[in-house]
Homo-oligomer: A and B are copies of this chain.
Amino acid sequence: MEELAESNGRRSVRMADVAAHAGVALGTVSHVLNHPEKVSPHTLERVRRSIDELGFVPNSRARALAAGTSSMIAFIVIDLGNSFFLDMARGAELEAQERGLNLVLANCDMNTDKELVYLSLFDAERMAGVLIAPLPSSADDQWRLQEWQSDVVALNVDASGRGCCVTTDDELGGYLAAQHLIEAGCRRLLFTGGPFSLLPIADRYRGAQRAVAEADGVSLELLRTLQTKPADGRKVGDALAARAADARPDGVLAATDLIAFGIIEALGVQGVSVPDDVKVIGYDNNRQAWESTVPISTMAQPGEEMGRHAVRLLVDEIRNPGSHEHEHVRLTPTLIARESTGT
């Protein structure tokens, strides 16, 4: 790790400089900054003027070192290009701001190794706390096995036992999505998505199964995909379009909006109408899929709310190290019915 010289040579104004300029003691300046109510109005005024005149910017590093506290929390995100994660960041930031904390982001850009790198970095930086939103994998993430200096709250992944976490109930989401299709009149459902090593996808499928089991005369077919991209959806769409009309499902549950997007596009090209011939519902309320010609019904995950909850948990953990008990907040996805299911 290379070292960098102190910033730009312009040596910055220190608190001692302000004290000298204002003709008061060092401690007084500190009081002006941290406990202004303990300083006489006259002194307050004078010190503040000196601060302005000298352009003093308190060094929060030194501050944090001396006080043993910090107002910075960090959010490690596996992929900021995914609007779901960005929503979390948004929510986390709002909540942090309301609580007087500052939130910085770290983008892993789908590289899981970076999670560890950033976690170590923020640990060493002695952040007040760290949020982390990894890919939802079934495997135990390695970072969860370590002890960290900072408190850590996980999003989008079940970390119960080792710390706080906030997730959405994918099984329920799958259930609700399937139910929506069934209520829309579909009887031959198809669930498509993959890989099933992604826990949320497996959960969504389970939920769909449950909904189908509860309904009468409804069947559920499964068509796995390798990934969750529009290209995977297009393949599925082509395959479906190639079938005889009566061998086609009348309701498709795509594991992600991107897949749904691809399906609808392929189906459209092949002359199969959505939602008339086939109804399609996606998952994620992904902005990337918002602009589809046929607006896609979807299960929205409350990303922002997840972020807010995570910060709330984190702050509790930081503030009450004694009484804090790890919590697993499980939020409910919401159905957003749009045109692709015939609304």
Contacts and interface: CB of A to CB of B under 8 A. Distances in A.
A121 interface: yes
A8 B57 contact: no
Interface in A89-142: 89-90, 93, 99-107, 109, 118, 120-121, 123-126, 128-129
A6 B183 CA distance: 53
A65 B61 contact: yes
10 contacts: A2-B100, A3-B67, A4-B128, A4-B318, A7-B128, A8-B321, A57-B124, A60-B124, A104-B105, A265-B291
A58 B126 CA distance: 9
Contacts of A64: 61
Interface in A48-72: 55, 57-62, 64-65, 67-72
A69 B4 CA distance: 6
Contact of A107 (B59, B89, B147, B151): B89
A104 B74 contact: yes
Interface stretch (A79-87, A243-251, A274-282): A79-87
Given A60-B126, A80-B80, A318-B8, A105 B102 contact: no
A219 interface: no
A61 B7 contact: no
Contacts of A126: 7, 59-61
Contacts of A147: 55
B80 A109 contact: no
A59 B62 CA distance: 12
A289 interface: yes
A100 B1 contact: yes
A9 interface: yes
Given A7-B126, A9-B322, A86-B107, 7 more contacts: A2-B101, A4-B318, A4-B319, A89-B107, A93-B109, A265-B291, A288-B288
